[in-house]
Every structure is written in structure tokens, then in C-alpha cells.
Homo-oligomer: A and B are copies of this chain.
């Protein structure tokens, strides 16, 4: 990702140069938070990693917490959507694989640790809650579509999300074995079958 940014020609985006600088700073912050934790990173290093002047970091984010929060949010966007191929089983399997991949990165590990609410400031906690809410909402939208199409019986989609992502987190965070597509298939298979079997017959 660092390479991807470096290789691009100077972008002409709304905001221009400053937008690019901000994106570089956020990417650098996300990387340093992953390495050193939320409390550990330093503005000097962010500037160095981002290849910008230290004053650019201070000017854009005079507040350290706001920098952390924006970096967390920008980095977590990848998991805030679930594909719709028309096959709910397949789409949820792919989502679980992406989730596991995300959790296995240094950044994902930091995020998981940071989720322990007692450890965080209200602002950071809010950002983490928002990240999780976005994921829950993304799964929920996809599940609701499946319900509308008759692929699934009416179901509490937040509960379904917890049922499929809970085991993924457990397996990845424990770190005793890699998370595979077979795991994802098995989890989604059992949960969807269980939801269908326990649905009240209307």
C-alpha cells in the first residue's frame, strides 16, 4: 500500500495537494498505530513515514486523538461492505475471509486490542464503535436483501452477524491455526441452516 501511494502520479483531487498530504499522513498513522499501539506513536515519526513536514501533521491534526480516529476509520473502510452476487452463502463466506484477513494484519490486531473498551478514551471508543457498527450494518443490509428475496427467513441480522463473525475472531485471535475458506464455509453453512431450521413457521 505504501508503494501504491508512492507510485501514483500526483493526483488532481478535490483539495489537491493537501488532500494527498492528508491521505499520506493517515496511512502513516495507521501503520504506526499498528506497530506501536494507539498510545505509542509519535508525530515526528508520522511525518517521516508520510514523507511530509512535521508542521503538516500538526496543522491538519492539532488534536492527537482526532488523528488516531481518522486513521482508524480510513483504514477500516474495506470491511464496511458485503458483496451481493445473489448467493447469500457465498457472499458471507467471502466476507468472513476478508474479515479474517483484516484481523490477521498488525493493524487488525491493534484494532482488536483497542476494542477492550475500558482501555480507551471516549473519542477513540466512539470511533471503534462506529467501525464495528459499519460492519454490522453492511452485513445487515446484505442479509435483509436475502430475506427480501426469500433466500432466508426473517432474521435478526445483527444476531446473524455475531453468530458468523464471533467464531472467526476467536479462531484468528487465538492464533493457533490459520483461518481457511473451509472454516468460513462451515461457519456460514451451520449458521444459515440453523437459522432456517429454527425460524418460526409463519
Binding site for B on A (CB under 8 A): 109, 112-113, 115-118, 129, 132, 159, 162-163, 165-171, 173-176, 186-187, 189-198
Contacts and interface: CB of A to CB of B under 8 A. Distances in A.
Q: Which 8 A-B pairs have the closest CB atoms?
A: A194-B194, A166-B166, A166-B167, A190-B194, A193-B197, A166-B170, A193-B194, A117-B175
A171 B197 CA distance: 23
Each complex incorporates copies of this chain amounting to 2
Contacts of A171: 162, 166
Nearest to A128: B174
23 contacts: A109-B116, A113-B113, A115-B174, A117-B175, A129-B176, A162-B167, A162-B170, A162-B171, A163-B163, A163-B167, A163-B190, A163-B191, A165-B170, A166-B168, A166-B169, A166-B171, A169-B170, A189-B194, A189-B198, A190-B194, A192-B194, A193-B193, A194-B195
A176 to B, nearest CB: 7
A165 to B, nearest CB: 7
Given A194-B195, A197-B197, 9 more contacts: A109-B116, A116-B173, A117-B175, A132-B174, A163-B163, A163-B190, A165-B166, A166-B170, A191-B194
A89 to B, nearest CB: 12
Contacts of A163: 163, 167, 187, 190-191
Contacts of A196: 197
A24 B170 CA distance: 32
A51 B197 CA distance: 56
Contacts of A193: 193-194, 197-198
Contacts of A170: 162, 165-166, 169
Residue of A132, A175, A187, A190 with most partner-chain B CB within 10 A: A190
B129 A118 contact: no
Nearest to A118: B109
